[in-house]
Amino acid sequence: MDHSSLQTAANQAMAHSQNLVQPLSDNAAPIVTHGLSMWDLFWGAEPVIKLVMLGLVLASIWSWTIIFHKIYRLQRLNKAADHFEESFWSGGALDDLFDRIHNRVLDPMSSIFCAAMREWRRSIAKGMARTTEMRGTLEQRIDRVMQLSLSRDMEHLERHMGFLASLGSNAVIIGLFGTVLGIMNSFEAIAGQQNTNLAVVAPGIAEALFATAIGLIAAIPAAIAYNKISSDLNRYANRLDVFANEFGAIISRQLEESL
Answer yes or no: do 122 and 13 share one domain: no
pLDDT tens, 104-141?
A: 888 999 999 999 999 888 877 776 656 666 777 888 88
Q: Which helix (H) or strand (E) holds 191?
A: helix 161-193
Q: Please state the rounded mean pLDDT for residues 86-96.
A: 87
| Calpha distance 203→184 (Å, rounded) | 12
Q: What is the pLDDT of residue 125?
A: 73
The predicted model scores a pTM of: 0.75
Buried b (16+ CB within 10 A) or exposed e, 87-101: ebeeeeebeebbeeb
Answer yes or no: do 12 and 81 share one domain: no
pLDDT at 189 over 70: no
Answer yes or no: do 107 and 162 share one domain: yes
Three-state secondary structure call for residue 94: helix
Give the domain extent around 19: 1-30
Answer yes or no: do 111 and 162 share one domain: yes
pLDDT at 247 over 80: yes
Q: What is the pLDDT of residue 21?
A: 40
Answer yes or no: do 9 and 71 share one domain: no
Comparing 186 with 43, which gets the higher pLDDT? 186
Name the packing angle between helices 108-125 and 132-157 (round to 10°): 150
pLDDT tens, 150-170?
A: 999 999 999 999 999 999 999
Q: State the total domains in the chain.
A: 2
pLDDT tens, 200-238?
A: 566 667 777 788 888 899 999 999 999 999 999 999 999
Answer yes or no: do 49 and 15 share one domain: no
| Calpha distance 78→80 (Å, rounded) | 5
Three-state secondary structure call for residue 185: helix
Residue 258's Cβ-side half-sphere holds a number of Cα atoms within 13 Å equal to 15
| Calpha distance 43→36 (Å, rounded) | 11
